[in-house]
Amino acid sequence: MKTKESQIALNPDALAYQKKMSNPLYFWFGMLIKLPSAIFWKFRIKILDAEKCVVTIPYSWRTQNPFKSIYFAAMAGAAELSTGALCQLAISGQGKYSMLVVDFRAEYFKKANQTITFTCEQGQELFTLIESLRPNDTGKLTMVSSGKNPQGEEVARFYVTWSFKRKA
């Protein structure tokens, strides 16, 4: 996973989370406990910083549907991970939060029969929301994850609405 300088300074807990997610062994064990399908489908986090998260999903027998494209649920999982990892980064070291997906929509444009890269670039918007929440406040953010093939063509776009509640 590559990182780049961001306008948002990450706190030590967020930096530790970022480092753990970049370690393939830690990522594998974390997914084994929290999201085993991510291991089976071979998701990879390529970039995780305060601005964006990039996740890839390969086209293989593990992800393929009977129509020789990537199964919609596998793409949905990769898209959700690209938004959820960014959420986890934003709340790291910020106190206790509950977070939950409260809405999920998808649009499909092309057949996904190659490795697909999902990118969510709403880090700044997310960090601003998290910083604005006071104890017992809730907030929602619809995050967009765009899935593109190696030619740069958008094959799918997912809208994941996360709800956050800051605990007292």
Least Cα distance to 77 among 121, 110, 36, 47 occurs for 36
Amino acid at 107: E
- The per-residue pLDDT for range 74-111, each reduced to its tens digit, is 999 999 999 999 999 999 988 899 999 999 999 999 99
Check residue 82 and give left, alpha or beta (phi > 0: left; psi -120 to 50: alpha): alpha
Domains of the chain and CATH, by start: 12-166 (3.10.129.10)
Q: Which residue has the tokens 């793409």?
A: 75
Q: SS3 for 96?
A: coil
User: Residue ranges of the chain with pLDDT lower than 70?
Assistant: 1-7
Q: SS3 for 133?
A: coil
